[in-house]
Chains A and B, each alone.
Chain A
Amino acid sequence: MTDMRYMRPRSLKEALEMLGEHSPGAKLLAGGTDLIPLFRAARYSSESSLAGLGSAGGCKCGDCRIVPFPDVLVDVGGLDEIKGIRRSDGFLEVGAATVIADIASDPLLNEEVPILAAGAGSIGNPLIRNRATIGGNLASAAPCADTAPPLLALDAIVQLASPEGRRQIPIADYFLEYRTTSIRETEMITGLLIPIPSERSAGSFEKVRLRRSGAISVASVAVMLELDAATCLKARIALGSVAPIPLRAAAVERALEGRRIEGEVARACSRLVQQHISPIDDIRGSADYRRWVTEAVVARNILKSAGIEGTD
């Protein structure tokens, strides 16, 4: 038995009204692949002898905060208005409720922003990807959210809506601290705008993990370079699972810009990643290993993006 109320709005407008009326206390649900296990972890910790089994009394992943059941659950997973992938005026627009499986397999995204499709394809397993959404991946704001490094490297813009109106924020300003974002109480993510990379751009994504499916990342790296021959005009280096939030390594980016990319340059610039990261020890890897592997994987993916070595 629960006091929770479940609501299924028929439109975005209705969803925002529900959110406005019931906040605080309302939570949005889409695929539920993250939220439902979190809610259940909360129930175990308060009601049953399973308390204390995992870290913090429930979820075993070690990364999760325990989330109590909300008073109101607003299910936006079925809203067609915030689903789908479109090209518009130099941007790709991805609806927040687009499922991860569709992002991983979408021909337009695979053509224009393959690092996002790759990040999406590395999430969970095929069954999780059938339900999980890109909006949910960002809203849960786990340090290991696998779409976050590609979106940071692509300078994506997060589209938000509330009963008061709409606004857009660069994804670089979206993640604030551990599992905390700049989404306001009555706001929801409606979609993402991704500038289509220029012809001279190339990128690469790599997720370090302990097995090939159903794995949470040990470290993940997304790289986007704009190149003139081998000279780097613009660099974006983004990281997951090595800090409280997914983040960009600005020092590496600045060091690369204006340089001719080759092995020693990539390795030297990648060392600067250390000043940005603060990894933890957990069941998937030690902090020391994460520091070592992040630097190596950043270097490798800079070279891969520049088409120099390590192509797959």
Chain B
Amino acid sequence: MLTTCSSAIVLTVNGEDHMLVVEPNELLINVLRNELGLTGAKYGCGTGQCGACTVLVDGEPVLSCITLAVAVDGKEITTIEGVAGADGELQPVQEEFLHENAIQCGFCTPGMILVAGDLLKRNPHPSEAEIRHHIKGNICRCTGYNGIVRAIQKAAARQGELRSDGIADREEAVSR
């Protein structure tokens, strides 16, 4: 039911536009999970401390459990469901998470993969320290992090190979 306080918003989620009517205090995570059925982002601490609810808003990692849905009206949201190709083909970082046993219970994994992707976009050749620094907002209680760090290192190396094969990013090559 529409109340005077409800707002109509448009979210572009994983490339698809959704018109939604939300309460002004509704959290982005609840809209994604309950309205759109995208249960990849997890509800962990609910206070912005654990990172399980991470999604990308206009390409930047954001904690959806402390973000109001109305506040991201008109923005592009990427959830873990939007990371793989349309044909289901996994990104290198996703494959390396599988190969390196970087996933155990899986609760932190969607956030970890989005944050790892954000790191590799900003910094294609991160050091181990830079990787560990970048994932500090995402807590994993199973793996001890070593598998996650290895997975991100291997994904970085694979992306480097793709680039040296001449497939990627001329602009970046020029800027270096």
Residues of A within 8 A of B (CB): 1-6, 8, 29, 32-33, 36-37, 39-40, 59-60, 69, 73, 75, 77, 124-128, 130-131, 212-214
Complex partner residue of A127 from B47, B63, B68, CB under 8 angstroms: B63
A3 to B23, CA, bound (A): 9
The residue among A1, A32, A36, A37 with the most chain B CB atoms within 10 A of its own CB is A36
What is the CB-to-nearest-CB distance from A111 to chain B, in angstroms, rounded to a whole number? 21
Contact between chains at A37 and B48 (CB < 8 Å): yes
What is the CB-to-nearest-CB distance from B77 to chain A, in angstroms, rounded to a whole number? 14
A263 to B68, CA, bound (A): 51
Chain B: interface residue count, which band?
20 to 34
A39 to B48, CA, bound (A): 13
- B115 contacts which chain A residues (CB < 8 A)? 126-127
Q: A127-B62, A130-B60, A214-B136 are in contact. Are A5 and B68 (CB under 8 A)?
A: no
Contact between chains at B61 and A130 (CB < 8 Å): yes
Check: B49 CB closer than 8 A to any chain A CB.
Answer: yes
Q: Closest 10 A-B residue pairs measured CB to CB?
A: A125-B137, A213-B136, A6-B24, A127-B137, A36-B66, A37-B47, A2-B25, A126-B137, A6-B70, A125-B136
Contact between chains at B7 and A6 (CB < 8 Å): yes
Which of B4-54 touch A at CB < 8 Å?
5, 7, 23-25, 27, 46-49, 51, 54
What is the CB-to-nearest-CB distance from B68 to chain A, in angstroms, rounded to a whole number? 7
Residue of B nearest to A72 (CB): B24
Contact between chains at A73 and B67 (CB < 8 Å): no
The residue among A6, A60, A124 with the most chain B CB atoms within 10 A of its own CB is A6
- B134 contacts which chain A residues (CB < 8 A)? 126
Contact between chains at B25 and A39 (CB < 8 Å): yes
Instruction: Identify 27 residue pairs between A and B in the complex whose beta-carbon atoms are under 8 Å apart, listed by A's number.
Output: A3-B5, A4-B5, A4-B25, A29-B71, A32-B71, A33-B48, A37-B46, A37-B48, A37-B66, A40-B46, A40-B47, A60-B47, A69-B25, A77-B71, A124-B137, A125-B136, A125-B137, A126-B61, A126-B133, A126-B137, A127-B48, A127-B51, A127-B54, A127-B115, A212-B136, A213-B136, A214-B139
- A4 contacts which chain B residues (CB < 8 A)? 5, 24-25
- B60 contacts which chain A residues (CB < 8 A)? 130
Residue of B nearest to A128 (CB): B48
Check: B175 CB closer than 8 A to any chain A CB.
Answer: no
